[in-house]
Amino acid sequence: MKFDLAVLPGDGIGPEVAAEGVKALEAVGRKFGHSFEFYSGLVGGAAIDASGEALTAETLRMCRGCHSVLLGAVGGPKWDDPLAKVRPEDGLLALRKELGLFANLRPVKMFPELVNSTNLKPEIVQGVDIMVVRELTGGLYFGRPKKRWQTSRGRRAVDSMLYTEKEIDRILRVGFELAKHRTKRLISVDKANVLESSRLWRQIAIEIGAEYPDIELEHMLVDACAMRLIQRPASLDVLVTENTFGDILTDEASMLAGSMGMLPSASLAGIPGDKGITFGMYEPIHGSAPSRAGRNVANPIATVLSCGMMLRFSLKLENAADAVEHAVAEVLSRGHRTYDIVEPGKSPIGTKEMGDLIADKVLAF
């Protein structure tokens, strides 16, 4: 089959890791007889430098015309002035909102080979395989009112954790659908002891739960969930939660997998079980790591695994997705490591070398 893919390399190490993602997809194309046409565009700091905007109408139009988007990373010290009118992150938030990418899937999986590379005890992280489903286009990030104003008693500011029934319903369904294909347990994370939006969330979760009698639904308060992630992470499977809670919990959870450089993500405009192509944007969860940029040291695995998620969740090429994941596991099992996951005393390999090894394993699948 033929697919059009937008590639937005962004800033810092973004272009280097995106190139390795493209390399893996090209290997998939050769191996499985698909053809991928890549269209490149600017986003983030790179777009601000070129046009003054973090996301241009042209890039957005290009993304809309493609089946999926691969994004590297955005941001860097050059654009960090707190008084700046436009920030690289604005480009990312605009992409999410404009492309309707409401469902953010962040799998946190411990590769057995890396069990000694985390800060936590190996027996705690052993077997960790969590899927966090984060709502991505609502809640505190986008709710109105959102403003700052002057009063006679000083300055005030407000952000609103606003959710509509429709927004809650569709993200919970993503959680239930994913749980079907995993251990059939879903944990809905909220703060229903304090927040009204969480109480509506919990009520809708219970209503939808009735449509999924095979899935065991549990509710967990977000503070308790933060604790459980460190205490007994291997006991968790699918978590579904609102935007800000998901942002915080996924940074915490990323520490369970050894390195941010290992973790992919998918942001979908539809429910994964739906037939046909689901539009999505795929990106590593790490940032632009400016201090590592341009040195061929970054770990491209998170980006390559993001391409694997694209094959699985958007393009519905299950075999090809398996090949990519298998290739990464094979390369790790042969002891190849980038700097972030290398064991003391061993030498790391570079970004390109890691990408080449993975592409070779895809071809040999």
Interface contacts to ligand IPM, rule CB under 6 A: 89, 92-93, 247
Does the annotation count 223 as an active-site position? Answer: yes
Stretch that binds Mg ion, among 172-180, 181-189, 246-254, 298-306 (CB under 5 A): 246-254
DSSP 215: S
Residue 255's binding partner among ligand IPM, Mg ion, none (Cβ under 5 to 8 angstroms by kind) is none
- Please say which residue, 93 or 195, places its beta carbon nearer to ligand IPM: 93
Of 4, 247, 325, 330, the one binding Mg ion by CB under 5 A: 247
**Nearest residue (beta carbon) to ligand IPM:** 89
How big is the CA angle at 333 (ends 328 and 339), to the nearest 5 degrees?
75
Site string for Mg ion, 193-232 (x = CB under 5 A): ----------------------------------------
Q: Would you state the structure tokens that stand for residue 67, as one six-digit string?
A: 């089946």
Residue 357's binding partner among Mg ion, ligand IPM, none (Cβ under 5 to 8 angstroms by kind) is none
Q: Would you state the structure tokens that stand for residue 326, as one six-digit string?
A: 């298998």
Other Cβ atoms less than 10 A from the Cβ of 196: the count is 10
Stretch that binds Mg ion, among 89-97, 178-186, 209-217, 245-253 (CB under 5 A): 245-253
What is the number of residues in the chain?
365
Other Cβ atoms less than 10 A from the Cβ of 4: the count is 14
Stretch that binds Mg ion, among 126-134, 148-156, 218-226, 239-247 (CB under 5 A): 239-247
Contact 105, 182 (CB under 8 A): no
Distance CA 282, CA 269 (A): 12
Does the annotation count 80 as an active-site position? Answer: no
Residue 353's binding partner among ligand IPM, Mg ion, none (Cβ under 5 to 8 angstroms by kind) is none
**Nearest residue (beta carbon) to Mg ion:** 247
Distance CA 187, CA 120 (A): 23
User: What's the closest the beta carbon of residue 248 comes to Mg ion, in angstroms?
Assistant: 8
Other Cβ atoms less than 10 A from the Cβ of 155: the count is 8
Does the annotation count 109 as an active-site position? Answer: no
The pairing of strands 264-268 and 280-284 is antiparallel
User: What's the closest the beta carbon of residue 149 comes to ligand IPM, in angstroms?
Assistant: 24
Does the annotation count 247 as an active-site position? Answer: yes
Backbone angle region of 311, left / alpha / beta, with phi > 0 → left and psi within -120 to 50 → alpha: alpha
DSSP 331: H
User: What's the closest the beta carbon of residue 283 comes to Mg ion, in angstroms?
Assistant: 11
Distance CA 115, CA 131 (A): 18
- Please say which residue, 247 or 353, places its beta carbon nearer to ligand IPM: 247
Beta-bridge partners for 186: 217, 238
Residue 92's binding partner among ligand IPM, Mg ion, none (Cβ under 5 to 8 angstroms by kind) is ligand IPM
The pairing of strands 129-135 and 238-241 is parallel
Interface residues with Mg ion (CB under 5 A) are 247
Catalytic residues: 141, 191, 223, 247, 251
